[in-house]
Structure 1
Amino acid sequence: MSRLSQPLSKDLDRPGAHGANWFQTEPPAPAAAQQDQDMMSVDYETEYNNRGRVPEHPGIIAGWARDAAAYREVAVSERGVRYGEGPRQTYDLFKPEDVKSQAIVLFIHGGYWQALDPSHFSHMARGLNLLGVPVAVVGYDLCPQVEVGHIVWELQQAAATIWLRYNLPVVAVGHSAGGQLSACLLATGWKNVDPMLPEQIVPAAYGISGLYNLKPLTETSINKALGLTLEGAERESPLFWPAPSGLVMDAVVGGTESAEYLRQSRRLTDIWGLEGVRTRYEEIDGANHFTVIAGLADPDSAMTRRIAELAGA
C-alpha cells in the first residue's frame, strides 16, 4: 500500500566525495566510443545553444512561470518537501483526487544544470494528475555551486527518499539536463546508494530532449559553469554507464531541434536497445527545445498518456 503522507523513516548518508563514481564497472561500449570520430567537425557551440536557436524563448519561459503559478493555486499539493540539506534539495508533490497509478512520477527540470527551479514547472504535473498520477517536481542545487556529479547524487537521494516515504516506485521524467538525470536514475545500482533499498526503484525513464553524452559540452561555453573535463563528462554520461537491461527508456525530442539533440536521443536508444533495455525513440513534430514539454500539461496528449502508462495508470 502506498503511503503518500508517511514521513521519512531514516536518513540517507552521502556517498564518497564524488556522488556517481561507483558505476563505471566496464569500459565504454565500442559503438558509443565511435561517435567521437563521427562528430569531429560539428559546431557544438551552435548545436547546443538552444536559446540562440529559439529567439522567442524568453516569452516561453515566462509562460512556464505564469502557468505554473496558476496551477499551484488550484492543485492539491505538498510544497517544499525536503529530501536533503542543500538549499534547493526539495520537491513539490502534486496529488490527484484519486490515485490510479502504481508509481510516482518524478519530474526533473532542465537548464543545463545551472538555471531554473521547480517553480517554473508546477503545471507539468497537471496532465498526469488528471489521469490519477501523483507527480513530484524536484529541485536540485546548481552549477557552479556544485558539480554535475553531485547533482546526479542529489537526484539519487530524491528518488530513494520518495520510495522510502511513499512505498511506490519512481518513473523518472526529465527535460534537457533533466533527461540526463532521468537516464542516470534508471541506470543506478540502488544497493550502492543504500543497502536497504531494493535492487530497482526506478523501472522506467522518459527523457525529453535529453543529454546522454556530455563530452561535446566540454567544447562549448556552457561548460564554463559546469567545469567538466573529458573524463568527468564521460563519467556523468549515462550513455557510458552499464545499460539497465530489462528496464524501459523512452527518449523523445522536438522535431525542429538541432541535429545534435536528435542524435543524442537516437544514440542512447540504439545502444541501450542493443544491450537489453526496452527503448523507444520519438520526434515531436514541429516542437522546439522549449515547446516540446507543452504536452505534459494536457491529459489527452500522447506524451502524458505514455508516461501515465509507464506509471501503471
Structure 2
Amino acid sequence: MTLDDAYANAAYIPRAEEFPPRWQAAAASFREALGPRAETGVRYGESDRQVYDFFHPDGVAKGTLIFVHGGYWKAFDRSDWSHLAEGALARGWAVVMPGYDLCPEVRISDITQQIAAAVTAIAERVQGPLVLAGHSAGGHLVSRMLDPLVLPETVRGRIERVAPISPLADLGPLMQTSMNEILRLDTEEAGAESPVNMAVPRGAQIAVWVGADERPAFLDQAEILARTWGARHVIDEGRHHFDVIEPLRDRDSEVVRFICGV
C-alpha cells in the first residue's frame, strides 16, 4: 500500500527485533522486584484483556498515572511495559497500566471506549489527581480521553496532565496502509477517532513527545497534534520510536517531571 513504508518503524531501527523480548524481560523483573506492591490483573471489563495492573508507591500516592501501551491497536499487552512505571513510582505516584482488546477482534472506536471504562474504574478507586500518558496508539487513546463525549466530566475534570508520546493523531493516512486489513478503518471512523478533529481540550496541561529520529510520518503526527491543540511540543534528541519511552524509567527525566508536575 502507498503509506506502508511511512509507518514502518522496525525497518528503520537497528536490531529492532531485540526490543520486544527486552521489554518483556524488564517488565517481568520489575514486577517481581515490586512484590506485593504490584497488583496485577484487576478486571474492569468483560473480556480477558480488559484488566489493569496497579503499581503502588511506597506510602500514600501523590496521584495516579495511567499509562496506555501502543502497538498499532493490534499488538502487545499491558504486561510488556511494567518497567515504564519506575520513574513516576519513584516520585510517589501510583501507576496503572490497562490492557485492551486488539484489532481485528474489535475496532479502534471500541478500544477507545474500553480505555474510557478503565480510566473511569481507576478514578472511582483512587483519590487525587489523574495524569495520562500513552505511546504510539496509546498516545492516540489517551488523547481521546479529553473528548467531552468519551469520559464523564467528573472523571475528565480530574485529569491534570496528558503526555501523548509519538501519538497517532490523524488516522486518515492509516487507511492507505496494509495494516488497515486488520484495523478496518473507514472514513467515518478515521475522522471521528482522530484527536486532531476533536475540540481543543481545556483544563489539562498537554505535552506531546516524539523522538527526533522517528519516521517523518510520526514527526508530522506529533507536530500537527501539538499545533492544533496549542500544546507543548517536545522533540527528544537521539530517540527513535522504540526507545523514546525509556525516559519514563528515570525519575529525573523531563517527561517524568512533567507527568509528576515538578
Q: By the TM > 0.5 criterion, same fold?
A: yes
Q: TM-score, normalised by structure 1?
A: 0.79
**Could you tell me the TM-score, scaled by structure 2's length?**
0.94
Q: Distance in 1 between matches of 2:210 and 2:100?
A: 23
Equivalent pairs: percent with the same residue? Answer: 37
Asked if the contact 1:91–1:139 (Cα under 8 Å) also holds between the matched residues in 2, the reply is yes
**1:153-232 superposed matches below 5 A:** 153-189=113-149, 193-194=151-152, 197=154, 200-232=157-189
1:100/1:93 Cα in 2 relative to 1: closer, same or farther (>3 Å)?
closer
Q: CA deviation at 1:280?
A: 0.6
Aligned counterpart for 2:49 among listed residues 64, 78, 88: 88
SS of equivalent residue, structure 2 residue 123: helix
Q: 2:186 & 2:4 partners in 1: Cα distance?
A: 16
Provide the C-alpha distance between the structure 2 equivalents of 1:95 and 1:168, rounded to a whole number of angstroms: 14
Match of 2:239 in 1: 287
Runs of 4+ in 1 over 6 A off after TM superposition: none
Contact 1:180-1:211 within 8 A present in 2 as well: yes
**RMSD of aligned C-alpha atoms?**
1.7
Distance 2:24 2:130 in 1: 25
Deviation of 1:189 after TM superposition, in Å, equals: 3.8
Deviations 1:161-192 (A, max 9, x none): 111111334211000000000101123446xx
Counterpart of 1:4? none
Cα distance in 2 for residues equivalent to 1:270 and 1:171: 21
2:251 aligned with 1:299: yes
Q: Work out which of the two has the higher radius of gyration on C-alpha atoms and give 1 or 2.
A: 1
Name the residue aligned to 2:59.
Answer: 98
Query: Which of 81, 87, 90 is residue 130 of structure 1 equivalent to?
Result: 90
| Equivalence for 1:26 | none
1:44 to partner: Cα distance: 2.2
Offset at 1:199? 5.7
Q: Given that residues 68 and 121 in structure 1 are in contact (C-alpha distance below 8 angstroms), is that contact kept between their aligned partners in structure 2?
A: yes
Give yes or no for contact 1:160–1:201 (8 Å, CA) kept in 2: no
**Separation in structure 2 between the aligned mates of residue 271 and residue 97 of structure 1, nearest angstrom:** 38
**Aligned ranges 1:4-23 → 2 under 5 Å:** none
SS of the residue 1:125 aligns to? helix
From 246, 263, 275, the equivalent of 2:220 is 263
Gaps of 5+ in 2: none
Q: What is the match of residue 253 of structure 1?
A: 210
Q: Is residue 107 from structure 1 mapped to residue 107 from structure 2 by the alignment?
A: no
Residues of 2 paired with 1:226 and 1:280: CA distance?
29
1:200–1:246 Cα change, 3 Å: closer
